[in-house]
């Protein structure tokens, strides 16, 4: 033994203009995650630089930018000195300007853990379920997501848990995106037994207790979080019925429908919609966009239901228009994740 002891690197003090201050550890990867772990309710959605919800201004101090071209900032934002809390890393004490009124304290304290890939299961052409064994994970709510850090891929990737909390496994349904670096590293190259850093849980679209029946609408890989919400509803006291809608593109993806069909059919109705079936298809189910099928199938008024939906941005926008503008469903009955 040398008798020397390593000095602990100092924590960084973050002071919010006209507000509170908090500390982030030197090991913390971003201002956003440091704030949430300190219980400070920064507003955020995607956590991966795509939505712009976590914008702030640096008034004093030094921060590293992790992704200069992040699409969550417009050119105008950049000219006005805005930054993204999910793409900024404090390098010392800092003073910042940020609005806290749109934020919400985390449902559970997020943690970064080294997880082990326990199994891989094909769901359909292009989609796999990955199950990770998590060492002492914090509890997550149905509908939340986590950040995965596959080795050699820049940045984090957000994926939603598809199971229910409780058995130490976090399961994800991942769709392989053409030329996507993170999804192909996870779907094609990660062997069972490999370790991946996972940080979570995050997200606001988690299942809330309420007396109303629940409508879940999944577009493609939005299937994962909607299965988790659906399983949460069905694990409840039996008083809520479930309407589950799954929008897929073509017949090639239909194997994914088996996941929805496995839900308890005594309390759930399941509808699968194809947006792009072959011209001479044997498919006899509904065709078109999934949001249109939701409106066709459910009788008004739609404010009888709580709505949960997840999937690509155009589907999210169509659902928002349907529920908020055309059917005036109250905002607190609408919960969604946009896969930016
Ligand atoms: C809240 C949320 C939940 C999601 N849940 C699911 C799910 O359950 N299943 C599913 O299949 N997909 C999900 N997605 C989409 C998923 O996170 C990825 O966007 C998708 O898999 C494409 O990633 P890729 O690596 O294949 O593509 P790429 O094009 O390589 O990467 C796109 C993603 O990586 C980020 N990124 C790219 N380059 C950088 C960089 N240099 N530095 C930092 N970040 C970078 C982008 O913000 C974007 O999120 C979710 C997205 C969000 C926001
Ligand atoms: S939460 Fe930071 S850009 Fe979406």
DSSP 8-state assignment for residue 174: E
Question: Are both 221 and 155 inside the same structural domain?
Answer: no
Confirm or reject: Cβ of 182 under 6 Å from ligand 1: yes
Confirm or reject: Cβ of 181 under 6 Å from ligand 1: yes
Decide: 179 and 230 in contact? Cβ < 8 Å: no
Domain assignment present for residue 4? The answer is: no
Confirm or reject: Cβ of 88 under 6 Å from ligand 1: no
Strands (E), the chain: 12-16, 21-24, 55-60, 63-65, 82-84, 88-90, 94-97, 111-124, 127-133, 145-149, 157-160, 169-175, 195-202, 213-219, 242-248, 268-274, 305-311, 334-338
Question: Are both 129 and 148 inside the same structural domain?
Answer: yes
Decide: 29 and 89 in contact? Cβ < 8 Å: yes
Helices within the chain (DSSP H only): 31-37, 75-79, 181-184, 223-234, 257-261, 290-297, 313-320
Question: Are both 23 and 93 inside the same structural domain?
Answer: yes
- 3-state secondary structure at position 8: coil
| Residue to substitute in 45, 86, 127, 159 for testing ligand 1 pocket (most ligand atoms within 8 angstroms of CB) | 159
Q: How far is the CA of 38 from the centre of ligand 2 (A)?
A: 18
> CATH number, domain at 68?
3.10.20.30
Instruction: State residue 238's pLDDT score.
Output: 87
Instruction: State residue 4's pLDDT score.
Output: 60
Question: Are both 323 and 298 inside the same structural domain?
Answer: yes
Question: Are both 240 and 331 inside the same structural domain?
Answer: yes
CA of 45, closest atom in ligand 2: 1
Decide: 120 and 130 in contact? Cβ < 8 Å: yes
Query: From the CA of 72, which ligand is nearest?
Result: 2
Instruction: State residue 316's pLDDT score.
Output: 96
Residue ranges making up the domain that contains 129: 111-202
Locate 269 and state its tokens.
Answer: 């109705």
Domain assignment present for residue 180? The answer is: yes
Domain assignment present for residue 102? The answer is: no
Q: What is the pTM of this model?
A: 0.95
Locate 326 and state its tokens.
Answer: 């055309």
User: Closest Cα to residue 282, out of 305, 259, 250, 310?
Assistant: 250
Instruction: State residue 66's pLDDT score.
Output: 96
Domain assignment present for residue 6? The answer is: no
Decide: 112 and 32 in contact? Cβ < 8 Å: no
Smallest CA separation from ligand 1 atom 4, residue: 159
Instruction: State residue 2's pLDDT score.
Output: 47
Which of 149, 167, 202 is a domain's end point? Answer: 202
Smallest CA separation from ligand 1 atom 20, residue: 183
Instruction: State residue 105's pLDDT score.
Output: 79
Distances (CA, A) of 319 to 272, 276, 306: 16, 19, 13
| Residue to substitute in 72, 203, 338 for testing ligand 2 pocket (most ligand atoms within 8 angstroms of CB) | 72
Confirm or reject: Cβ of 226 under 6 Å from ligand 1: no
Domain assignment present for residue 105? The answer is: no
Segments of the chain with pLDDT less than 70: 1-5
CA of 224, closest atom in ligand 1: 8
Q: How far is the CA of 56 from the centre of ligand 2 (A)?
A: 11
| Residue to substitute in 157, 185, 202, 313 for testing ligand 1 pocket (most ligand atoms within 8 angstroms of CB) | 157
Question: Are both 254 and 311 inside the same structural domain?
Answer: yes
Instruction: State residue 108's pLDDT score.
Output: 80
Q: How far is the CA of 254 from the centre of ligand 1 (A)?
A: 23
> CATH number, domain at 297?
3.40.50.80
Cβ-count burial of 172 within 10 angstroms (0-12 exposed, 13-18 middle, 19+ buried)?
Answer: buried
Query: From the CA of 30, which ligand is nearest?
Result: 2
Q: How far is the CA of 324 from the centre of ligand 1 (A)?
A: 27
Question: Are both 78 and 21 inside the same structural domain?
Answer: yes
How many distinct structural domains can be found in the chain?
Answer: 3
Is the bond preceding 48 in cis, omega lying within 30 degrees of 0? no
């Amino acid at each position: 033994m040398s008798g020397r002891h390593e000095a602990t690197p100092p924590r960084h003090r973050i002071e919010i203009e006209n507000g509170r201050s908090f500390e982030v550890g030197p090991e913390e990867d971003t201002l956003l995650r440091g704030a949430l772990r300190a219980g400070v309710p920064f507003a955020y959605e995607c956590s991966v630089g795509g939505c712009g919800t976590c914008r702030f201004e640096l008034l004093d101090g030094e921060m590293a930018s992790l992704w200069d071209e992040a699409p969550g900032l417009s050119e105008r934002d950049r000219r006005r000195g805005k930054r993204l809390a999910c793409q900024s890393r404090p390098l010392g004490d800092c003073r910042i300007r940020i609005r806290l009124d749109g934020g919400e304290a985390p449902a559970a304290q997020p943690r970064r853990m080294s997880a082990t890939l326990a199994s891989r299961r094909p769901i359909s052409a292009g989609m796999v379920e990955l199950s990770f064994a998590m060492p002492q994970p914090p509890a997550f709510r149905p509908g939340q997501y986590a950040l995965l850090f596959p080795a050699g891929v820049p940045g984090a990737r957000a994926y939603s848990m598809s199971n229910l909390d409780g058995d130490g496994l976090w399961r994800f349904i991942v769709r392989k995106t053409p030329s996507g670096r993170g999804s192909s590293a996870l779907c094609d190259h990660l062997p069972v037994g490999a370790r991946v850093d996972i940080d979570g849980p995050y997200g606001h679209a988690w299942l809330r207790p309420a007396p109303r029946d629940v409508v879940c609408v999944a577009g493609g890989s939005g299937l994962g979080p909607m299965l988790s919400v659906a399983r949460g509803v069905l694990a409840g006291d039996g008083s809520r019925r479930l309407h589950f809608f799954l929008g897929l593109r073509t017949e090639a993806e239909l194997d994914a429908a088996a996941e929805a069909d496995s839900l308890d059919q005594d309390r759930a109705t399941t509808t699968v919609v194809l947006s792009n079936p072959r011209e001479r298809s044997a498919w006899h189910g509904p065709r078109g966009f999934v949001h249109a099928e939701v409106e066709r199938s459910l009788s008004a008024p739609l404010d009888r239901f709580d709505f949960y939906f997840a999937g690509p941005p155009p589907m999210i926008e169509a659902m928002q228009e349907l529920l908020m503008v055309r059917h005036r469903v109250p905002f607190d009955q609408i919960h969604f994740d946009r896969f930016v």
